[in-house]
Amino acid sequence: MCNFFSCDSEPSTGKIIFFDAEARMKLRESNPNNYNPDSHTSIADYHGYKGAAEDKLNKYEYCPFTKKFTIDQINGEDDSNRVKKFLDNYDFTDILNTIQNLNLSSLQALPKGLVFPKGIQNLNLSSLQALPKGLVFPKGIQYLNLNSLQALPKGFTKFPEGIQYLYLNSDLKRKYNI
C-alpha cells in the first residue's frame, strides 16, 4: 500500500525498520536513490536489505492519527502483535513534523480532536464525508482533496489562503459558491 506510515520488520531479529524523522529530513535535502519514505522497498534498501533479503521482511502500515494497523505482507514468522504494540507506543511527533504530503484518503471520518502537522502542503481526504466541527487546516496547505465531502460544518467560513488546488464535489461548490 505504501501509505503514511510504513514500516518493515525482520522477525528473526525483532528489528523494526522505517524512515525516522532525521532520515526523512535528509531525503528532502538529497535523495539520489529516489527513496519514498513510506515505500517498503525504499525502507528495505535504505536499511541494507537488498534483493532476496527484502523478501524476508514483513511489511506493515500504520496510521498514527487513528491507530489503524494494517498487515501488508507476512514473509516470515508473524510478528504483527509485537510491531503493533511498538507502533501504538511510538512517539510520532518528530516524524509528523517532517510530513509535507499526507494521504488519508481511506478515512471516511476523522478522529475527534485531530490536529494536522503544520508543515503539510498536500492533504488527501478524498473519502471524507464530513468535516468535524473546529477542524483547522494547516496554513501552508496548497492541495486539498475533499471530493466526497457532502457539507461544510455549521459556522465554517473559509479555507486557508494559499490553497492552489481545492477539490470539492460540484454540488458542494454550487451550494457554497466556491
77: in domain: yes
Please say whether the dihedral angle defined by the alpha carbons of residues 88, 92, 96 and 98, taken in this order, is positive or negative.
negative
25: in domain: yes
145: in domain: yes
Report how many domains make up the chain: 2
pLDDT for the residue numbered 2: 64
- Greatest alpha-carbon pair distance for the chain in Å reads 58
Which of 81, 96, 111 is the C-terminal boundary of a domain?
96
How would you write the pLDDT of the chain (178 residues) with one tens digit per residue?
467 899 999 999 999 999 999 999 999 999 999 999 999 999 999 999 988 899 999 999 999 988 999 999 999 899 999 999 999 999 999 999 998 888 888 888 888 888 888 889 999 999 998 888 888 888 889 999 999 998 888 877 678 888 999 999 888 888 777 7
Which structural domain, as residue segments, surrounds residue 87? 6-96
pLDDT for the residue numbered 138: 87
Strand stretches in the chain, DSSP E: 6-10, 15-17, 58-63, 68-73, 101-103, 122-124, 143-146, 165-168
1: in domain: no
